């Protein structure tokens, strides 16, 4: 009886392994690697210009001002009234930032409406600093502008879909994918979708991460609120369909075999 039980267990284990093998599929490594056409002699082109994300409508900005007369500068570091255009930000104190309105402007103390959309944070800081100098409001003013809502979203065939908060205000698509656990073996690396809102228009760009040209692409660095979507390969979709079709058959077969083995052992 003991030997018969051992034989039955061995047969069941074999059947389970065979069932698992039905769901396994071979994935080509050709499309599962990045930068296929890079070798030791490949020279990567520089990205044109210096990357600086552009401010857009609905962005939330932190603006800090310092000068040789700090008491007077304090007025410009308290954006906490409705008239200043301030708004609450998740994880920050109420009134911690300036909202860029639908017209692309911020409402700043004393100066009123200032155009922000389309500018980099450095350009906006320079604009505000010049206004202080021109009106002689502060001595040697220093203005810093930062994003408070720089986030990118990773969806689809990545290990850990996530919304990533970017504190450094600079992130490449490869860094973002790394933070999301990388693309799975079933993701299309040669057809990654980048969705971007800019100046009131939504654009969709297809990126080929298998090609080294992505390293010099203007889309290599992500902008605030970008969405990166990795589509599944046809093999992943086909595998899911096969699994739904075969699984009931396999389970039924295994159940039948277990019943037959039990009756054989009883006899």
Average pLDDT over residues 162-184: 93
Using a 10 angstrom Cβ sphere, with 0-12 exposed, 13-18 middle and 19 or more buried, the burial of residue 83 is: exposed
Q: Please say whether the beta carbons of 191 and 241 come within 8 A.
A: no
CA-wise closest residue to 202 among 175, 188, 223: 223
33-73: per-residue pLDDT in tens?
666 666 655 555 555 555 788 899 889 999 999 998 888 88
Q: pLDDT at residue 172 above 90?
A: yes
In this prediction, residue 200 has a pLDDT band, given cuts at 50, 70 and 90, of confident
Higher-pLDDT residue of 261, 211? 211
Q: Average pLDDT of the chain?
A: 77
In this prediction, residue 24 has a pLDDT band, given cuts at 50, 70 and 90, of very low
State how far the Cα of 106 lies from the Cα of 108, in Å rounded to an integer.
6
213-255: per-residue pLDDT in tens?
898 898 999 999 999 999 998 765 455 445 555 656 666 666 6
Residue 172: strand pairing partners = 221
Q: What is the per-residue pLDDT for 87?
A: 40
Beta-carbon contacts of 127 under 8 Å, excluding residues fewer than 6 positions away, are: 114, 115, 119
Q: What is the per-residue pLDDT for 2?
A: 61
CA-wise closest residue to 220 among 45, 58, 73, 95: 45
Q: pLDDT at residue 97 above 80?
A: yes
139-163: per-residue pLDDT in tens?
899 999 999 989 999 999 999 999 9
> Of the ranges 1-10, 149-158, 196-205, 229-238, which one carries the lowest mean pLDDT score?
1-10
């Amino acid at each position: 009886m003991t030997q018969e039980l051992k034989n039955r267990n061995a047969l069941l284990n074999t059947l389970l392994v065979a069932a698992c093998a039905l769901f396994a599929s071979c994935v080509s490594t050709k499309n599962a690697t990045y930068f296929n056409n890079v070798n030791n002699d490949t020279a990567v082109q520089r990205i044109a210009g210096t990357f600086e994300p552009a401010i857009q409508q609905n962005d939330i900005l932190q603006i800090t001002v310092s000068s040789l007369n700090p008491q007077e500068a304090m007025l410009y570091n308290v954006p906490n009234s409705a008239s200043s255009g301030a708004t609450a930000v998740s994880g920050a104190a109420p009134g911690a930032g300036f909202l860029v309105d639908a017209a692309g402007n911020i409402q700043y103390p004393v100066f009123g409406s200032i155009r922000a959309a389309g500018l980099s944070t450095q350009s906006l800081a320079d604009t505000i600093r010049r206004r202080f100098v021109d009106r002689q409001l502060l001595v040697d003013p220093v203005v810093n502008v930062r994003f408070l809502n720089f986030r990118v979203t990773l969806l689809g065939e990545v290990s850990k879909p996530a919304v990533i908060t970017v504190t450094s205000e600079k992130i490449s698509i490869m860094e973002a994918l790394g933070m999301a656990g990388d693309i799975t073996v079933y993701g299309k690396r040669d057809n990654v979708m980048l969705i971007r809102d800019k100046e009131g228009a939504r654009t969709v760009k297809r990126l080929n991460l298998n090609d080294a040209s992505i390293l010099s692409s203007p889309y290599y660095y992500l902008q605030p609120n970008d969405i990166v979507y990795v589509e599944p390969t046809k093999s992943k979709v086909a595998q899911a369909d096969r699994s739904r079709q075969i699984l009931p058959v396999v389970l039924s077969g295994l159940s039948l075999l277990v019943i037959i083995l039990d009756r054989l052992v009883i006899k």
